[in-house]
């Protein structure tokens, strides 16, 4: 049995990060290629959605959804996102029957990320590499499931607070939405408050308030 591990949503300022472990018999990996598995970033939304049910015939998976609140709490305690990801991956791998796991490493040095995971999972062979989602089909499968689940969570949030774009700091729609709705209590629980993007917006809004008060005076 082999496993592939990947995440979706490391960088957004709004919404959760999702981690998935996909596992199957090694002899079934050619079937992953036949159904079109590849890095989720190279697939359209409709392609990902069509592939996911086909994956159920080849293997199985475990998924963890890490909320913005949990990310905020960990970062306030000086726990890095890489360490949090390693902890969650270790927990998922402990629930899975595998002999070798291929893992997409957020650390530039894959061996460093491997050591992080070893603190939480002491069994199996761990292969941690950058761009593993492009190199290994099982990691590509994990990336598809993680991306689909992340998109599902984003849709739920948008239904509650309104459309906010992709949730990424590079998305102008997201930044504008944050500026306009910064004090919305419904939104706050989904925002990664420790992100530099939020600090910049807070500073900008504070400066605007000061200027407004000066003008009124």
CB distance 55 to 145 below 8 Å: yes
pLDDT at 194: 86
Mean pLDDT by 10 residues, the chain (217 residues): 96 95 97 95 95 97 97 95 97 96 96 97 96 96 97 96 91 91 90 84 63 44
pLDDT at 183: 86
Q: Which CATH class is domain 2-159?
A: alpha beta
CA distance 150 to 148: 5
Give CATH 3.30.420.10 domain extents, the chain. Answer: 2-159
With vertex at residue 39, the alpha carbon angle to CA 35 and CA 44, rounded to the nearest 5 degrees, is 75
pLDDT at 208: 54
**pLDDT one-digit tens code per residue, 103-161:** 999 999 999 999 999 999 999 999 999 999 999 999 999 999 999 999 999 999 999 99
């Amino acid at each position: 049995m082999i496993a592939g591990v990947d995440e979706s949503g490391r960088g957004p300022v709004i919404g959760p990060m999702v981690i998935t472990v996909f596992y199957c018999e090694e002899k079934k990996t050619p079937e992953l290629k036949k159904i079109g598995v590849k890095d989720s970033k190279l697939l359209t939304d409709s392609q990902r959605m069509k592939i996911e049910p086909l994956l159920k015939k080849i293997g199985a998976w475990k998924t963890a959804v890490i909320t913005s609140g949990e990310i905020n709490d960990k970062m306030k305690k000086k726990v890095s996102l890489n360490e949090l990801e390693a902890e969650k991956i270790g927990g998922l791998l402990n629930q899975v029957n595998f002999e070798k796991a291929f893992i997409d490493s957020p650390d530039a040095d894959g061996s460093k990320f491997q050591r992080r995971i070893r603190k939480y999972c002491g069994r199996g062979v761990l292969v941690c590499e950058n761009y593993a989602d492009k190199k290994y089909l099982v990691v590509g499968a994990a990336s598809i499931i993680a991306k689909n689940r992340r998109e599902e969570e984003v849709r739920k949030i948008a239904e509650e607070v309104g459309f906010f774009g992709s949730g990424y700091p590079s998305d102008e729609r997201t930044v504008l939405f944050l500026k306009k709705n910064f004090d919305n209590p419904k939104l706050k629980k989904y925002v990664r408050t420790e992100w530099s993007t939020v600090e910049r917006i807070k500073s900008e809004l504070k400066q605007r308030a000061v200027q407004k008060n000066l003008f009124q005076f």
